[in-house]
Amino acid sequence: MKTKLYVLYGGKSVEHEVSLKTAVTVLLSIDESRFEVYPVYITRDGLWCTPGRLAKEGLTVERLIARPSYRDTASSIGEILSGVMALPGPKVVMPLLHGSNGEDGTVQGLMELLNVPYVGNGVLASALALDKAMSKEILAQAGIRQTDYRVCRFDEWSSDGMAVVRDVEARIGYPCYVKPASLGSSIGISRCTNRGELRAGIQEAFAYDKKLVFEREVAGREIQVAVIGNERPLASLPGEFIHDRAFFDYESKYMDKRLTMSIPAELSAGLTERIRELAVRAYRAHGCEGLARVDFFLDGEGELFLNEINALPGFTNFSMYPVMWERTDGTSYAALIEQLIGHAVARHEDKQTIRYSR
């Protein structure tokens, strides 16, 4: 019997479009001789629905979008759970939901309640990795070096915004970055070189979150590492994007056709191994399982700073994560998906040995 694979995509998130691009690539790559695929679309309003079984031929983002039968979230989720995900036989869920309401542990919690295996990180690791402020606390406790940073909540800003600005200038300085704490794809992030840009960046970031992170800029290279696995995670060879922008923003990541990947990144053998070791340490410190991408800054003096850990990295066939694995050990995109499904099933089976009664 084929395993039923439920692919969740879209979502109530500003990274909705990124999720759709990821879903198209994944759906085109799944081995249909092994998996019976059921796409589940989550609208921008958080309603769950399905476009039905989709043929690979001519599959586009537009064909992934479906119209929900209900106008309230609870009823739409109930329809999918009782009508689609309740089908008999072995099953696994693959959440391809970038950002809030999907990458942050919310959907993962639902899958735990349903007691079904799902690809990627669990509730805690997902929540920690998406929340940059909490992630930095974890990294600090693990003794992993980071750039100088400061966290600000909306109530602090609304009470005395000028005090926040002066404190950032004193502790962080310029250039600095202001970021929504819980978001990805560089959305809502501003690079600030003076007070006016800082105030504007704060206003922009608070449109996406009620908690912000300020960071000192590290001038140099951005190095990325792909990590996969559960109890014994493995790190890929490091890679980097070659670009000439001061700030690698959303448009740079997804629309700049001049971007080129350098995999493996041109680093000494010793530095390569140190980066891979630190990536695994950060992965374990967050309690990650399944996959994550760990990003570093390497300054002009050779000093290394961990930037962030991404629990659901970009996953199209042109994204850094799958390409790093292909160039590390020859793992194809389709084989990588099957590996991740295998890790999901293994973790789920391990959890079935836990006792819930005395």
Kindly compute the dihedral angle of the four CA atoms of residues 195, 200, 204, 209, in this order, to the nearest 10 degrees: 40
**Which of 5-19, 198-212, 243-257 has the weakest average pLDDT?**
243-257
Catalytic residues, which ones? 15, 185, 319
- Is the model's pLDDT at 221 over the cut of 90? yes
| Structure confidence at residue 249 (pLDDT) | 57
Does a cis peptide bond (omega within 30 degrees of 0) precede residue 313?
Answer: no
- How many helices (H) and strands (E) the chain has is answered by 13, 14
Mean pLDDT of 185-204: 92
| Structure confidence at residue 246 (pLDDT) | 58
Mean pLDDT of 204-232: 96
| Structure confidence at residue 252 (pLDDT) | 54
Q: Distance (Å, rounded) from C-alpha 255 to C-alpha 304? A: 28
| Structure confidence at residue 255 (pLDDT) | 54
- AA identity, residue 329: D
289 is in an annotated binding site: no
Question: Which H or E run includes 28?
Answer: helix 16-29
Place of tokens 């980071």: 146
- Read off the pLDDT of residues 271-324 as tens digits, 9 standing for 90 and up: 999 999 999 999 999 999 999 999 999 999 999 999 999 999 999 988 999 999
Does a cis peptide bond (omega within 30 degrees of 0) precede residue 264?
Answer: yes
Q: Distance (Å, rounded) from C-alpha 321 to C-alpha 315? A: 7
Number of C-beta neighbours around residue 5 at 10 A:
24
Cβ pair 99, 185 in contact under 8 A: yes
- Read off the pLDDT of residues 45-67 as tens digits, 9 standing for 90 and up: 999 999 999 999 999 999 999 99
* Structural domains of the chain sorted by starting position, each given as residue range(s) with its CATH number in brackets: 3-118 (3.40.50.20), 148-216 (3.30.1490.20), 219-350 (3.30.470.20)
295 is in an annotated binding site: yes
Confidence bin at 181 (pLDDT 50/70/90): very high
Q: Distance (Å, rounded) from C-alpha 51 to C-alpha 183? A: 27
Give the three-state DSSP class for 184.
coil
Cβ pair 7, 40 in contact under 8 A: yes
- Is the model's pLDDT at 186 over the cut of 90? no
| Structure confidence at residue 251 (pLDDT) | 56
Those residues whose C-beta lies under 8 Å from the C-beta of residue 327, and which sit 6 or more positions away, are 236, 237, 239, 263, 264
- Is the model's pLDDT at 127 over the cut of 60? yes
| Structure confidence at residue 227 (pLDDT) | 98
| Structure confidence at residue 244 (pLDDT) | 66
Q: Distance (Å, rounded) from C-alpha 190 to C-alpha 197? A: 8
- Is the model's pLDDT at 254 over the cut of 90? no
Cα-based distances in Å from 32 to 5, 83, 87, 192, 315:
10, 21, 17, 48, 19
| Structure confidence at residue 183 (pLDDT) | 77
131 is in an annotated binding site: no
